[in-house]
Amino acid sequence: MNRRPHRCKCEYGFSLVETLIAMSVLSAIVMGSLGMLTLAQRNLASGGKGLEVLARAQSGMEAFRTMPYRSMLTPDLKDDSGVKLTLEHNGTGQFVGRHTVHGVDFVWLVIPEGPDLSKSSATTVRVSAEWFDSQAQRRKLSLGMLRANPVYGGAS
């Protein structure tokens, strides 16, 4: 009797089809993760620009807060970009100054309550900043403060 050796029909290991399916599932997961990481990086950069704008605006407001009241119309707001702010009377009792730093447009308003800075009881200082974020959307930031005249003696 000549018997043939018994061969097992089951083979161990993965077939080519199983390997291709596993690779396609894994690549779909990786591509989804990369898209999410790209979106997160873009949002972080946009938030960083907003923080930079806020820091510049607050720094300028702090300069207005610490300068002598009578010199508020001639501010010295030079920063690391070398921008010097010049305020001009716009005919309505307000003083306006504009400058651009790193693609951000800043508009400063100094509004005395009276016709003259020295005769007003207080002055409002406002700053607004506008810029485009990484997704080409216009962003805007506004800050303001009210500064009292320390030598105001009342209405004359």
Q: Where are the domains of the chain?
A: 16-148
Of 69, 57, 61, the residue nearest 104 (C-alpha): 57
Residue 41 scores a pLDDT above 90: no
> What pLDDT does residue 129 have?
95
pLDDT-derived band at 133, boundaries 50, 70, 90? confident
Torsion of CA 15, 21, 25, 27, to 10 degrees: 80
Residue 81 scores a pLDDT above 60: no
Asked if 64 and 75 touch (Cβ cutoff 8 Å), the reply is: yes
The rounded percent of the chain whose pLDDT value lies above 70 is 85
Residue 102 scores a pLDDT above 90: no
Highest-confidence segment of 2-6, 18-22, 35-39, 74-78: 18-22
Q: Is 140 in a helix, a strand, or coil?
A: strand
Rg of the chain in Å (alpha carbons): 32
Residue 35 scores a pLDDT above 80: yes
Residue 38 scores a pLDDT above 80: yes
pLDDT-derived band at 138, boundaries 50, 70, 90? very high
140 vs 90, more confident: 140
Average pLDDT over all residues of the chain: 83
DSSP string, 26-93: HHHHHHHHHHHHHHHHHHHHHHHHHHHHHHHHHHHHHHHHHS-GGGTTS-----TT------EE-SSS
Segment 7-34 shows an average pLDDT of 83
> What pLDDT does residue 32 have?
85
> What pLDDT does residue 153 have?
65
Q: Which two tokens stand for residue 152?
A: 């105001």
